[in-house]
Amino acid sequence: MEISFNPIHSIDRAISLLFKNDAELLQQFKGSFDPVIRVADPKFADFQVNGILPLAKKNRLNPVQLANTVCKKLTDSQTIDSNLFELSVAGPGFINFKLKASYLSKWLESYSSAQAIQQETSQWLNKEITVIDFPSANTAKQAHIGHLRPMVIGESIARILEFSGATVIRDNHIGDWGTNFGSLIMILKKKGITINEFENPAEALELIDSLYKEATTLENNNPELRDISRNELLKLQNGDSENTLIWQSIIDVSNQAFEKLFEQLAVKIDYTLGESFYKDKVQRIYDELLTLEIAEKSDGALVVWHNEIKKFAKDNKRPFPFNIRKKDGASNYASTDLATILYRIEHFKAQSVIYLTDSRQQDHFEQLFLTTKKWFQKKDYPLPKLKHVWWGTILGSDNKPIKTKSGESIKLQLLIDEAIERALKVVTEKNPSLPVEEQRTIAKAVAIGALKYADLSSNRTQDYVFDWDRMLSFEGNTAPYLLYVIARINSIFRKADLDLSDSSINHHFDVRTTYEIQLARKLIQFPITLNQTLSDLRPHFLSTYLFELAGVFNTFYNNEKVIDADSSIQQRRISLCHRTHTVLSIGLNLLGITTVDRM
């Protein structure tokens, strides 16, 4: 019997084989049978087959009897190798599968390194071309704490997709074509400020931020200034060269300032094709959607109706229309997004597109996806998979959206600086004898890791409370706790005078004691967790697993001698340490977290 990477597949394959080949079963049931295999309560088994019950019910059979028959047939026919699995019937007709130590050992031997694991996972998505649209902040504004989630969640999901074999294109769809540029150009001209004379992009962006605030106050007090701004915007939209240069200088500093943040947060972007990139591509959208009778004119605007959407407009008669062109003929967020989908299909050959924004854009994406579906159907274009990944709000200790004391949003750079400062304190306290340079490197990994982990370890669709003390604690479900386990394994290897990168040490498994078996059992759940994380695009599944694995490892380590044990015992325990290190490192890397050898 083959030891598959995901043990559920071994069971699934065996059961389908039985149902296909066993004459008696074939006679009793027609059609296909879904065994419905789930991870079981670890007190009883590893996996549970739940599908016998509905099958028995449909065929008016006694489920316990049927489960017993199937169980017996599986072992008698040797479809299931009883050296690897222990089977039993439980409850009203479930079949429990317990992995024997020999299965665990064989699995650990077969998937013995990060490369071996990746070789398996990289087949999952079969090179599917996937555009991931993140972090896509709007330009001309300084990044604040609200920009943390798109960067952190986006980077993690991109890594998970890559690890699962997708061909990932990271496209930063910045909002760089907004009406705010009219006001900005107005005030820059009025004050005679030239943006590209600044050395420090972050400083320039700070100035732009405050100039914009000043501009809107001025406009509120002098309506004629508002007309000037509007005129500057119109000139920009019509390609006026002076305004285009000013606009470009603002976009440049904005991108440079963001790049600095990306670097600190280990965020990688392949393209920055913002809204402005599509300004000459929207006409085709209007034409196509009108010709295909998907959009209709309404008061000069262009709208698409989706009667299947259950949220109704004010008149309570029809749902909200999807407005794809403004009354004055200007493009909007929807027009550029439709042009963007087309470009991603035609230029990147995208088979899947994943959008990351906060929860407030759910309606937009629902309408965008519906429009695309109808449009592509009529156009006879293959519809890519379209997914909106959204999240909740970061809250302060008062359970309200987090703000500074004076009620402003917290600047992302200040947040990162504070994290590093706090982490440095924690790290020096814990390890005062390390060289200062190393303390700094560790503090940075801990700080960024803590910020990211606090975000990724909560279910993304829920809000979470930002709490410095908790995220930097070495206890509980935190980055420092996990990083420390990795450092601990490194130190075990140093003590044993072994090299973690030496591949010859990790090939012998023969798990025996309760703690060894418990750890092995947790290790082999990695593919199942990863699969679940991938299909839901929810990194907290992975982080919860890593936290549990770290706990099981600590229990193992506190109860079993690793070094100084009898040499064959030492070898298998060292191998288990090695494997835990591999899985924890892969896992943290998929969360975008940098690990350190020493803490």
**Applying CB under 6 A, which residues contact ligand ARG?**
133, 136-138, 173, 175, 337, 340, 355, 357
Give the residue from 529, 171, 96 showing the smallest Cα distance to 337: 171
**Residue among 173 and 573 whose Cβ is closer to ligand ARG:** 173
Could you tell me the smallest distance in angstroms from the CB atom of residue 174 to ligand ARG? Answer: 6
Q: Considering the complex, what minimum distance in angstroms separates the CB of residue 295 from ligand ARG?
A: 18
Cβ-based nearer residue to ligand ARG, 137 or 576: 137
Q: Which is nearer to ligand ARG, 144 or 173 (CB)?
A: 173
Pairing of strands 167-171, 129-133: parallel
What minimum distance in Å lies between the beta carbon of 323 and ligand ARG? 15
Which of 362, 503 has the CB closer to ligand ARG? 362
Nearer to ligand ARG, 136 or 180 (CB): 136
The CB-of-234 to ligand ARG minimum distance in angstroms stands at 22
What is 137-194 written as a DSSP string? Answer: -BSSS--BGGGHHHHHHHHHHHHHHHHTT-EEEEE---B-S-THHHHHHHHHHHHT--
Smallest gap from residue 276 Cβ to ligand ARG (A): 12
CB of 374 to ligand ARG, least distance (A): 19
Task: Please report, to the nearest 10 degrees, the dihedral formed by the alpha carbons of residues 319, 325, 331, 337 taken in order.
Answer: 40
Residue 558, judged by CB atoms within 10 A of its CB (0-12, 13-18, 19+), counts as exposed
- Whether omega for the bond prior to residue 135 falls within 30 degrees of 0, making it cis, is yes
Burial 230-252 (b: 16+ CB within 10 A, else e): eebbebbbeeeeebbebbebbbe
**Least CB distance to ligand ARG at residue 168 (A):** 16
- Closest approach of ligand ARG to the CB of residue 517, in Å: 47
For ligand ARG, the closer CB: 368 or 519: 368
Helix (H) or strand (E) holding 369: helix 362-379
Minimal distance in Å, beta carbon 194 to ligand ARG? Answer: 26
Which of 274/592 has CB closer to ligand ARG?
A: 274
Q: Which is nearer to ligand ARG, 136 or 457 (CB)?
A: 136
Calculate ∠ Cα 324-326-328, nearest 5°.
150
How far CA 544 is from CA of 47, 453, 470, 526, in Å, comes to 19, 11, 16, 11
Q: Which amino acid is at 380?
A: D
* β-bridge pairing 129-133 and 94-99: unpaired
Among 273, 317, 255, 246, which Cα is nearest to 131's? 273
* CA distance linking residue 449 with residue 204, whole number of Å: 28
180 burial type by CB count under 10 A (0-12 exposed, 13-18 middle, 19+ buried): buried
Q: Which of 262/474 has CB closer to ligand ARG?
A: 262
Which residue has 């854009």 as its token pair? 361
